[in-house]
Copies of this chain bind each other. A is one copy, B any other.
Amino acid sequence: MTISAAACPSGDERVTLFALLLDTNARLSRTLGVALEESCQLPLAWFEVLLQLRRSPEGILTMSQIADAIVHSTGGTTRLVDRIEAADYIERRTCPSDRRAVNVGITALGNAKLDEALSAHLSFLDVHVSNRLSDQERKQLAALLEKLSVD
């Protein structure tokens, strides 16, 4: 007896695809997290913040921008930034144009740690991405994920 897709939505092709996305992300994140922790003693969440800061044009982001970039609540971001700041990898600065806002910048120590982490990250990517996807496939994947990222 065949069960129709309507009668068995858990077998729907899109449900499977979405589950695969969740699963792939969870496994890769966990593996990367362990690798970063072991090689640099840097939590993945800290790495994400440092990376976003380096990517920003001025090397500076406000709390809200960080929260949005790493998809955390603003409350969670406050505490996360507290911890990274306590480790002297980043620092809060006053925002000249808006006294409500807090600018966050990376320190010299943070830059050094980020370089270290990026080196570990590139090794991780070699093993878990480059070995598995060709140049063209990576471009394809990026294009597809971009389409899913539109608000």
Taking Cβ atoms with an 8 Å cutoff, the residues of A that contact B are: 9-30, 32, 48, 51, 54-55, 69-71, 114-115, 118-119, 121-122, 125, 128-130, 132-133, 137-138, 140-142, 144-150
Interface of A is mostly: helix
With A71-B27, A118-B9, A137-B147 as contacts: A129 and B22 at CB distance below 8 Å? no
- Set of chain B residues within 8 Å of A54, measured between Cβ atoms: 10
CA distance A114 to B9 in the complex (A): 10
Q: Is the CB of B26 within 8 A of A71?
A: yes
A71 nearest CB neighbor, chain B only: B26
CA distance A149 to B129 in the complex (A): 10
Number of copies of chain A assembled together: 2
**Can you list 11 pairs linking A and B with CB atoms under 8 Å apart?**
A9-B119, A9-B121, A10-B114, A15-B125, A17-B138, A21-B24, A24-B148, A25-B25, A128-B148, A129-B148, A133-B144
With A71-B30, A144-B144 as contacts: A129 and B12 at CB distance below 8 Å? no
With A24-B149, A137-B144, A138-B14 as contacts: A51 and B132 at CB distance below 8 Å? no
Q: Is the CB of A133 within 8 A of B149?
A: no
Q: Is the CB of A16 within 8 A of B132?
A: no
Q: Smallest distance from the beta carbon of A92 to chain B beta carbons, Å?
A: 22
CA distance A150 to B54 in the complex (A): 31
CA distance A138 to B132 in the complex (A): 19
